[in-house]
Copies of this chain bind each other. A is one copy, B any other.
Amino acid sequence: MVTINDIAKLSGVSRTTVSRVLNNSGYVSEKAKKRVLEVIKETGYVPSEQAKSLRTKKSKVIGVILPKISTETSSRVVDGIDRELSNHGYHILLANANLDTDKEIEHFKLLQSRRVDGIILVATNIEDRLIQTIKDVNVPVVALGQDVPGVSSVLYDDYHAAFDVTSLFIKRGHKRIGFIGVDETDRAVGYERKKAYFDAMEKARLNVDPAWVQKGVFDIESGEKAMLTMLADSKEAPTAIFAVTDRLAIGAMQALKKKGIKIPEEMSVMGIGASDLSKYVTPSLSTVDYYNEKAGTETAKLMIEHIKNITEMTRKLSMSYGLIIRDSLL
């Protein structure tokens, strides 16, 4: 591998001068510059970012910790992050936590050892030891999707989105509305969305049969199961189902189809996520677009502001959302 020293020797100048033309800084004569550039081209020399980083203490790499790589949300978010970061010469170092807090914590250490300039945490469950880890880390951290105390975060407006969905059902005349959620340790998806559902119901003075409130685990199968239990356990079946994710909603739809219950005539369904799936299932699923890609770019922007010390304080950015009304809704 050819180094700056080789270039210096071959072009008959010092290392310093080569560095100067590389970064075009300081004074360099046209003649020297031309010669150096020639040699660089001839040799195919590529400066080592590694060595540069060691000296300058900037790696131009951002670590991104994902709860899971292969999900639609993750890939949209990463797409958004990359779009913004690449404009500023940053690269993404990927870290997959695979829904395991221990791994998440381990990744913070690993990313730190690689001297990334910042860490973006696409968050799910926020435990205390995670928060402690983040505090101990000495690079900027920005969270996406969950409100992490003391950390700048880009947040989806889970409460209002869920409130709007429930309210939409109510406005359309539904009185018995079922809910399929996830565990409340997931504060954003589990707790906030559920709270909003109950608040909206209460505000409209609507009763909630406990059997109408079910729980799943982020996949289609569990949505199907939740729907079946709801149908079996409730004295009077709901006329509308709010599932906190599209996959749960689609699972619910599967169950309804199998039971011969017509959507939307006998049962309206809504989800959250605006997944590709939601658009092409039959009937097409009404949902909420969280603009994941935009959330990604906003997170990246916030990160860059932190790195450049434009933003000193921890900031909380709330994303907007958009209801998408399709055929699953009466």
CB-based contact A48/B82 at 8 Å = no
Closest to A280 in B: B281
Do A94 and B91 touch across chains, with their CB atoms under 8 A apart? yes
Segment 55-98 of A: residues with Cβ below 8 Å from B: 59, 61, 69-72, 74-76, 78-79, 82, 86, 91-96
Q: Once the chains are docked, how many angstroms separate the CA of A94 from the CA of B62?
A: 10
Does B61 lie within 8 Å of A93, measured CB to CB?
yes
Contact of A75 among B70, B92, B282 (CB under 8 A): B70
A48-B93 in contact given A75-B71, A79-B70, A282-B281 (Cβ < 8 Å): no
- A138, CB-defined interface residue at 8 Å: yes
CA distance A138 to B136 in the complex (A): 38
Contact of A50 among B44, B53, B293 (CB under 8 A): B53
Contact of A93 among B69, B75, B91, B115 (CB under 8 A): B91
* Chain A 250-267 interface residues, beta-carbon cutoff 8 Å to B: 250, 254
In chain B, what residue has the closest Cβ to A281?
B280
A51 at the interface (CB under 8 A from B): yes
* Chain B residues within 8 Å of A1, by CB: 138
Q: How far is the CA of A329 from the CA of B125 in the complex (A)?
A: 43
Alpha-carbon distance between A121 and B94 when the two chains are bound, in angstroms? 16
Say yes or no: is A34 at the interface (Cβ < 8 Å to chain B): no
**Chain B residues whose CB sits within 8 angstroms of the CB of A254 once the complex forms:** 280
Are the CB atoms of A136 and B44 closer together than 8 Å?
Answer: yes
Contact (Cβ within 8 A) B281 A50? no
Contact (A50, B59) CB under 8 Å given A69-B78, A277-B280: yes
Q: Are B46 and A109 in contact (CB under 8 A)?
A: yes
Complex CA–CA separation, A93 to B91 (angstroms) = 7
Cβ A49 vs Cβ B282 within 8 A: no
Query: A55: shortest Cβ distance to chain B, in Å?
Result: 10
Give chain B nearest CB distance to A229 CB in angstroms: 21
* Sample of 9 more A-B contacts, CB < 8 Å, known A49-B114, A70-B79: A46-B109, A46-B112, A48-B115, A69-B82, A82-B94, A91-B95, A93-B93, A250-B280, A280-B280
Task: Give chain A's interface residues, CB within 8 Å of chain B.
Answer: 1, 44, 46-51, 53-54, 59, 61, 69-72, 74-76, 78-79, 82, 86, 91-96, 109-110, 112-115, 136, 138, 220, 250, 254, 276-277, 280-282, 293
